[in-house]
Structure 1
Amino acid sequence: MLGTQTSCTQSSPSQACCSEPLTWLEETVKLGCGFHSGAGDSATAPFRRATCSQSNTSGMLQCSLQLARWKNSHSVRSHHSEHSLSPDGSGHQHRHLEPLECRDLLVQNALFTGDLDMVQKYFTKGAAVDLIIETRGDVLRWTSTKRGTSWGYHTCSHTLVPFTHLLINSIYELLRLWSLSYEQELTTPLLITASRGHTACLRLLLLRGAAADFAPGGRTALHAACAASSAACARLLLRAGAHPEALSEDGYRPLHLCCKSSDSIECVRLLLQHGASVNSQTEEENDTALHVASRHGLAQHVQLLLHHGAELEVKNKEGQTPLNAACAQHHQPQDMDRYYRVCQLLVDGGASINAADRDRQHPLHLACKNANAQIVELLLARGANVNVMNYGGNTALHNILQVAAYKLEHRPELVVQALLNHGAVRVWPGSLLKALVNSYSHVRVSEDWEAAVPAEVVQKYPCFYQSLFSLGHRPRSLQHLARCCLRTLLEGRLLLVLSQLHLPSALHQFLLLGFEDVLY
């Protein structure tokens, strides 16, 4: 058989073209044949059996990988019954068809563009629907091709000592040419239409008997619809029997993918209505849907998940609760309000204020790294420990001082003010924040300070720096010393006491280190 071609003329793709009882896909691996459209195919039947020939080793390995991935996805979904929509909208059991590989670009173009007329033309009643399509993914991967021959390593490695074995293995790897290329993905007509929100085409494919949970590429059409925030497609798939708890190859369930976009709230509702577990965790990070929604600052999603019983104290692989995750995510200035609303919902729901992750980072530490004064005020008002240290020995005050210089738009001085007013232990900063300098009764200013500050900075804030440099040869004012004495006396109780004294507004702000352009 080697070097010759054998025509595969069986009318049914499920029949083997060899004498051994192999499926058509296993036979493809052994003979290197595939399913594609030819020039002579009719428009309504673009998928036919190709001729079979002995392929090279790399081709067989690629076919083997596709076979293994398809078998894996097929076995995963075998516990769930496969349904499709009948013309009246109810589900019915479809007939089993082994999947074919589609290489016809016209068919693929019709699916990707959502051309319903062409999809109807290609996918007639009785035609194969569960096709496998190989497409280029969105992720760049390092791939290698071997240069030269793999001499010696595989043939005589059993006679080599470990060091020589390792040396030859290293040389063998150096003989490979590495390059960045897009990863190839296996997909299906159903997944393509669901991922692009082509509802009419998706409905047609389901009516033609497409398997809702068919996942040769490691994720189902429901995963794709949820990732694209397409509620209409998700509704059709769930009605067709798609499993709301299907696990993708990378360990995500549809609900996890729904909680990454503000447009997907309706998808979340649909999944929960169809029995998705609100507390299921991802395989790799152990995130719940509440972790994901909190990390993305989605207040509506968080509120809905809490309403359906999402647990507040579940920890992920990093030891983070959803509140930790919300505080740890990078907050842009325009996003600070929505992250505050998320944290407010979690705290009001009973989330632990002092929950620590694996690095002993508390929500307060993380909020200070983001310079989010609203969240800091919220946590302190609910009893967060202002002076607790993480594994690095840093308090919340350390964290805000470390990031203040490059988070000026976040107004870090408000965070410093809040921490000091709640009894934070003072530390000498790397940057001269007015609030922190005003919290000391004595500041040792040397002549080197004036030389260290750039002239343009001094010109920008002349009153502040003139009063700062003058502290080197004069004592602090009596009113400032009185303020320091009172703050020391009321440390930890300052806000509570001041709220009961009904002081004039100016004096109230002075005691709370209100910002001025001069040091007293």
Structure 2
Amino acid sequence: MDCTFPFSSATQRLLQLDQQKYSQHIRSWYHHGEHSLSPVSQGCQNSRLEPLECRDLLVQNALFTGDLEMVQKYFTKSAAINLIIEAKSGELRWTSRKFGLWSLSYEQELTTPLHITASRGYTDCLRFLLLRGAAVNFAPGGKTALHEACAAASTDCVRLLLSFGADPEAVSEDGYKPLHLCKSPDSIECVQQLLQHGASVNSRTEEEDDTVLHVVARHGLTDHVQLLLRYGAELEAMNEEGQTPLNAACAQPHQPQDMDRYYQVCQLLVESGADIHAADKDRQHPLHLACKNANAQVVELLLARGANVNIMNYSGNTALHNILQATAYKLEHHPELVVQALLNYGAIRIWPGSLLKVRGSQLCQEHGGEERL
């Protein structure tokens, strides 16, 4: 099977508009070959000329499987390195190729050999491509290879990319920097590497206006929070919704098995001086939000630190309102413990009839779910 790398339509238009200037950069045309990559212009990487599109399935397979031997075979010293590869994402969307005819297909994403190897943790292949001159900050699909490595929590790839000059402050098409994509427990060393290479600890996302501390608090990452605080992360920074990182942690829905780590995050933030009275744009306080998620440990923490048990939000709801509303779908979180804590700290007993529902949920838990409200 022959492999071809045709010019993209955008490149063709540029060549037509500015043929004389581009002729200075192009020393030879790409051509068909026996599973090999044809020579690339020496000035292509730094010019306005767009890299070519790779449609050879054998080359793509070598990259996606991390086959170093085959990658070395295809990407010789004279081969094109900064190729565009169109891959399918996991998201479906409606598209119309002909007038009036719509179809549901997987969204196409533009990627490169560098992005593919970085996102899959193929360090040896990644190093080989970088040594062959791959553009480390190239972002044809809106993200750099460093974004991909951080999202995959591939510490070795992050370290390697940074050593080759990857920009730790690169902004993706969606307005995220690499630090904002470190959302898993395994990404803690990626965060460390980024901060050591000059990433701003208080950088914000463009749309939500989240700081990195907002992001990791929302994902219940205690070690990340601790590390960011050591680097001077702002405790009281507010995002687009008016939430502080403490608000964000309290507001994030989580499963019963994750309640303890969200408690640890909130405890760390509070002990570091986070304001337990900070309200978002809806005047939801951390206590309101923790009650919505029926996390009794966080509720106890906030109450013990002086949270106002009867303060209302814009809707006129107190923390007790919120837990009573959440009881029906938070049975596994033991909402009765939250109600008990609120009453112990002087919650006003409004909606007295609703307390029967909470007591019923407690009985349901005690009898193995045999009773129903």
TM-score (norm 1): 0.62
- On the 8 A contact 1:372/1:415 being kept in 2, the answer is yes
- On the 8 A contact 1:126/1:208 being kept in 2, the answer is no
Q: Which residue of 2 aligns with 1:45?
A: 37
| Correspondence 1:291-306 to 2 at 5 A | 291-306=214-229
Match of 1:185 among 96, 100, 109: 109
CA positional deviation for 1:143: 1.9
CA positional deviation for 1:95: 6.9
- On the 8 A contact 2:247/2:285 being kept in 1, the answer is yes
| Correspondence 1:41-80 to 2 at 5 A | 41-45=33-37
Q: Which amino acid aligns with 1:107?
A: V
Deviations along 1:349-373, whole A, 9 cap, x unmatched? 1111011111111000010011110
Matched, 1:411 2:344: no
Deviations along 1:195-239, whole A, 9 cap, x unmatched? 010000000000001110011111100000000000000001000
- On the 8 A contact 1:102/1:132 being kept in 2, the answer is yes
Q: Which amino acid aligns with 1:387?
A: N
Matched, 1:201 2:142: no
Aligned mates of 2:330, 2:358 — CA distance in 1: 16
Aligned mates of 1:95, 1:136 — CA distance in 2: 25
- On the 8 A contact 1:37/1:104 being kept in 2, the answer is no
Q: Which amino acid aligns with 1:195?
A: S
Q: Which amino acid aligns with 1:45?
A: L
Indicate how the Cα distance of structure 1 residues 282 and 180 shifts in structure 2: closer, same or farther if over 3 A, else same.
same
| Correspondence 1:97-496 to 2 at 5 A | 98=49, 99-147=51-99, 176-258=100-182, 260-427=183-350, 428-432=352-356
Aligned identity (percent) is 69
Say what the alpha-carbon RMSD is for the aligned residues: 3.0
CA positional deviation for 1:250: 0.6
CA positional deviation for 1:376: 0.2
Q: Which amino acid aligns with 2:284?
A: Q
Deviations along 1:398-438, whole A, 9 cap, x unmatched? 111111122121111111111111111111243505779xx
What SS does the aligned partner of 1:430 have?
A: helix
- 4+ residue runs over 3 A deviation: 15-20, 35-38, 46-49, 93-98, 433-436
Q: Which amino acid aligns with 1:125?
A: K
Aligned mates of 1:460, 1:114 — CA distance in 2: 53
Indicate how the Cα distance of structure 1 residues 124 and 420 shifts in structure 2: closer, same or farther if over 3 A, else same.
same
- On the 8 A contact 2:39/2:79 being kept in 1, the answer is no
Aligned mates of 1:287, 1:207 — CA distance in 2: 36
Aligned mates of 1:45, 1:411 — CA distance in 2: 61
Indicate how the Cα distance of structure 1 residues 430 and 96 shifts in structure 2: closer, same or farther if over 3 A, else same.
same
- On the 8 A contact 1:314/1:322 being kept in 2, the answer is yes
Aligned mates of 1:415, 1:374 — CA distance in 2: 8
CA positional deviation for 1:135: 1.2
Indicate how the Cα distance of structure 1 residues 36 and 333 shifts in structure 2: closer, same or farther if over 3 A, else same.
farther
CA positional deviation for 1:179: 2.8
Aligned mates of 2:21, 2:94 — CA distance in 1: 34
Aligned mates of 1:292, 1:393 — CA distance in 2: 29
Q: Which amino acid aligns with 1:382?
A: R
- On the 8 A contact 2:294/2:335 being kept in 1, the answer is yes
TM-score (norm 2): 0.86
Aligned mates of 1:236, 1:434 — CA distance in 2: 54
- On the 8 A contact 1:405/1:431 being kept in 2, the answer is no
Aligned mates of 2:147, 2:213 — CA distance in 1: 18
Aligned mates of 1:374, 1:121 — CA distance in 2: 57
Q: Which amino acid aligns with 1:384?
A: A
Q: Which amino acid aligns with 2:79?
A: A
What SS does the aligned partner of 1:131 have?
A: coil
Unaligned runs of 5+ in 2: 1-5, 361-366
- On the 8 A contact 1:371/1:411 being kept in 2, the answer is yes
- On the 8 A contact 2:335/2:358 being kept in 1, the answer is no
Q: Which residue of 1 aligns with 2:20?
A: 21
Larger Rg: 1
CA positional deviation for 1:126: 3.0
Aligned mates of 1:310, 1:422 — CA distance in 2: 32
Aligned mates of 1:276, 1:341 — CA distance in 2: 26
Aligned mates of 2:85, 2:358 — CA distance in 1: 63
Unaligned runs of 5+ in 1: 1-6, 28-34, 50-92, 148-175, 437-456, 466-520
- On the 8 A contact 2:40/2:80 being kept in 1, the answer is no
Size of the aligned set, in residue pairs, is 348
What SS does the aligned partner of 1:140 have?
A: strand
Indicate how the Cα distance of structure 1 residues 129 and 460 shifts in structure 2: closer, same or farther if over 3 A, else same.
closer
Aligned mates of 1:460, 1:197 — CA distance in 2: 49
What SS does the aligned partner of 1:180 have?
A: strand
Q: Which amino acid aligns with 2:37?
A: A
Q: Which amino acid aligns with 1:144?
A: S
